[in-house]
Amino acid sequence: MEIKNIFCIGRNYVKHAEELGNEVPKQPILFSKPTHALTKADGRVLSFPKLLGEIHHELEIVLHIHKNVEKGDLIEDVVDKMALGIDLTLRDLQSELKRKGQPWLRAKGFRESAILTDFWDFPGIEECKKNSFSLTNNSEIVQKGTINEMIFSFQMILDELIKAFGVKAGDIIFTGTPEGVGPLEDGDDFSLYWNEKKVGNFLVDRK
């Protein structure tokens, strides 16, 4: 599956905004990652040198767009697949960039900072509302959420992206992370779950 653009939404859960001491946004915060950031949650070991500083995991639902989108299109007509993903953030660097008023790209778009499970068929909004998604580290749940807790719905996110950038076939959208973000440590073993089903995992090397 070819991926064209990686769009991301920041601070889309109230408790996540609060845990980092950020204001709750009144409109979606948009950013992107280069496709070079992509990697798979297929059991592989991901290596991040310690010199990069603190790196935080952010669990997210990821939507795949299968057609060119026009203003007024509904999310269920343009999304065909979904996955779970991890948006990794160089937190020390991001804090420094924010202080300087500079873009986040260096802190968000580094290699292997967009970790994806395999995609599966998108079941629709109502079905997604009945499900939770979670991340475990060494078998302990560290993040868990549902789309019912989102500040901005899938449709609101899509509408904002259409207005700001345009959305076309092959684009994917990271839709925001619930509370519980935290640092990667050497030897961590992360697993991603859709309800009780394990859909991906990866190991961390921080030498």
Structure tokens at 54: 């603190």
Average pLDDT over residues 130-154: 97
> Has residue 198 been placed in a domain?
yes
CA 124 to chain centre: 19
Number of domains the chain contains: 1
Beta partners for 101?
Answer: none
CATH number at residue 38: 3.90.850.10
Pull the structure tokens for residue 196: 């009780």
Structure confidence at residue 1 (pLDDT) = 83
Domain membership of residue 88 (yes or no) is yes
1 part of a folded domain: no
Range of the domain at 168: 6-205
- Provide φ and ψ at 76, rounded to 5°: -75, -15
Q: Which residues contact 173 (CB under 8 A, 6 or more apart)?
A: 7, 8, 9, 62, 63, 65, 157, 158, 161
171 found inside a domain: yes
Closest CA to 142 of 83, 61, 59, 62: 59
In this predicted structure, the answer to whether residue 143 has a pLDDT above a threshold of 90 is yes
Predicted TM-score (pTM) of this structure: 0.96
Render pLDDT for 28-67 as a digit per residue (tens, 0 to 9): 999 999 999 999 999 999 999 999 999 999 999 999 999 9
Q: What is the DSSP letter of 22?
A: P
pLDDT band at 23 (very low <50, low <70, confident <90, very high): confident
